[in-house]
C-alpha cells in the first residue's frame, strides 16, 4: 500500500486516483507521519461495503456458518 504526506498527495491527486483505480490498491494519506485518510478505487469501495453488509446481516451469517459446518462434517466423512 503506497502512502504520501498530505502536501505531496495534494500535488499528485490525479496521478494517485488513476493509480488506485488501475491497481486496486489503496493509498494512504498521512499528516505529521500518521495515517489520516485512505483513497480507494470505486470498485474496491463497493466491494468493501457489500462485504460489510453481508457480515452485519445475522441471517446471512447464520446461513454461511451453517453451510461451513455442513461442509466440514462432509469432509470429515470422506
Burial degree of 34 (CB within 10 A; 0-12, 13-18, 19+): exposed
Give 66's Cβ-side CA count (13 Å radius).
Answer: 6
Check residue 33 and report its DSSP letter.
T
Helix (H, G, I), strand (E, B) or coil at 43: helix
| C-alpha–C-alpha distance, residues 77 and 49, integer Å | 37
Q: Is the pLDDT of residue 78 over 80?
A: no
Q: What are the residue ranges spanned by the domains of the chain?
A: 1-40, 42-78
pTM exceeds 0.75, yes or no: no
Q: Does domain 1-40 have CATH number 3.40.1620.10?
A: yes
Lowest mean pLDDT among 32-36, 43-47, 58-62: 58-62
Amino acid 11: pLDDT: 97
pLDDT tens digits along 62-75: 999 999 999 988 88
| C-alpha–C-alpha distance, residues 20 and 63, integer Å | 34
Amino acid at each position: 500500500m503506497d502512502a504520501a504526506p498530505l502536501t505531496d498527495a495534494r500535488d499528485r491527486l490525479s496521478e494517485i486516483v488513476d493509480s488506485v483505480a488501475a491497481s486496486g490498491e489503496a493509498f494512504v494519506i498521512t499528516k505529521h507521519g500518521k495515517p489520516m485518510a485512505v483513497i480507494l478505487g470505486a470498485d474496491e469501495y463497493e466491494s468493501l461495503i457489500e462485504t460489510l453488509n453481508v457480515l452485519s446481516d445475522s441471517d446471512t451469517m447464520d446461513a454461511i456458518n451453517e453451510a461451513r459446518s455442513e461442509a466440514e462434517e462432509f469432509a470429515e466423512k470422506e
